[in-house]
Amino acid sequence: METHDAEIVFTSRIVSRQQPDANQITKSVLRGRIAEGAGSLYLIFSATVPEAGLVDYTIKLSGDGREALIRRKGAVPLRQPLFVGEPMRGTFEAPFGKLETEATALKINSSWDRETRSGTAGLVYEMMLQGEYVGRFRLDFRFTGMK
């Protein structure tokens, strides 16, 4: 698998129909790695989750734009597979125990230009936690490989 050090601009938006006051948007500029292999693009980076702490992310995006996997290790572990148009079960580990998640991807996209060492990726999905609607998540990434 070929990897490249990268600067990643990560924007996260969470919109809740039930609780509009809970809507969130965060933007971070992070150092991480971009990897290519087995027909997929991988984003690997660490970030701080508010009120939880440091977490390590690995986000796998299939080349066909149909599926992805969000894996988070550290303060609040998460494993959430995503498939466009299909509900997929995952897990979220809170301080008080492991909880079931279910997410349906609405959009998955990624692009990577080896020559310029730059690209973008995006995920839009709706998530349930223990059967309760959490909201619509939109994760956008812009990344540039470092020499």
Domain boundaries, the chain: 2-145
Going by the DSSP 8-state scheme, the letter that residue 21 receives in this structure is G
User: Each residue of 96-131: pLDDT tens digit?
Assistant: 899 999 999 999 999 999 889 999 999 999 999 999
Whether the pLDDT of residue 26 is over 90: the answer is no
What does the pLDDT look like over 51-60, one tens digit per residue? 788 999 999 9
Cα three-residue angle 32-44-74, rounded to 5 degrees? 105
Statement: residue 43 has pLDDT above 70: yes
CB count within 10 Å of CB 50 equals 7
C-alpha closest to that of 120 among 107, 131, 134, 136 = 107
Q: What confidence tier does 20 reach under pLDDT thresholds 50, 70, 90?
A: low
Q: Whole-number mean pLDDT of the chain?
A: 92
> CATH fold of 2-145, please?
Lipocalin (2.40.128)
Among 80, 75, 73, CA closest to 139: 80
Query: Which pLDDT band, with edges at 50, 70 and 90, does 41 fall under?
Result: very high
pLDDT at 147: 63
pLDDT of residue 141: 97
- Would you place residue 95 in the very low, low, confident or very high pLDDT band (cuts 50, 70, 90)? confident
Mean pLDDT of 64-68: 95
Is-contact 27 139, C-beta < 8 A?
no
